[in-house]
Amino acid sequence: MQSLRSASVCVQSIRRVQIGIPKFCRMMGDAVNEWPVETSIRKKLADAFQPEVLEVINESHMHNVPKGSESHFKVLVVSEKFSNQPLIKRHRMVNDTLQQELKTQVHALSILAKTPEQWNTSEQKIGQSPPCRGGAGL
């Protein structure tokens, strides 16, 4: 029943701002359990890093997996918590935060972990991922 109530609130809010239902619900972190892995990743990263910028991109559709899969993700996390940390440590911090998802549902995770200063002096773009090579490694 909670999901229906959340969905109703989400739809009412959408009518006010006139944007698409799935986009708005995911933006608000209320995916109504349509994307449970993406929602879990988003919540855990937000709680752990209090990021200034957080993007969670499901790239599963770019791979040879069933439609609607949640197995391949790219994340952008911009947080002060990365200050004075080398890149490898930042990646470990993200991996540690998402250890349950990485053990169970997530097959691949691309991580962009930046400080606010790094992000603000960059182009502020998330690069395109390369096409899937089908697991052949060719």
Q: Would you tell me how many other CB atoms lie within 10 Å of the CB of residue 70?
A: 19
Residue 103 in tokens = 């053990």
Q: Would you tell me how many other CB atoms lie within 10 Å of the CB of residue 130?
A: 7
- What is the longest distance spanned by two Cα atoms in the chain? 50
pLDDT for the residue numbered 117: 97
| 57-80 pLDDT, tens digit each | 888 777 777 677 777 889 999 999
pLDDT for the residue numbered 87: 96
pLDDT for the residue numbered 33: 57
Q: What length is written for the chain?
A: 138
Residue 64 in tokens = 């040879």
pLDDT below 70 — which residues of the chain? Answer: 1-33, 66, 133-138
pLDDT for the residue numbered 34: 76
Report the mean per-residue pLDDT for the chain.
78
Cα–Cα nearest to 112, from 130, 129, 99, 135: 129
Cα–Cα nearest to 70, from 7, 20, 26: 26
Residue 7 in tokens = 């969905």
pLDDT for the residue numbered 16: 40
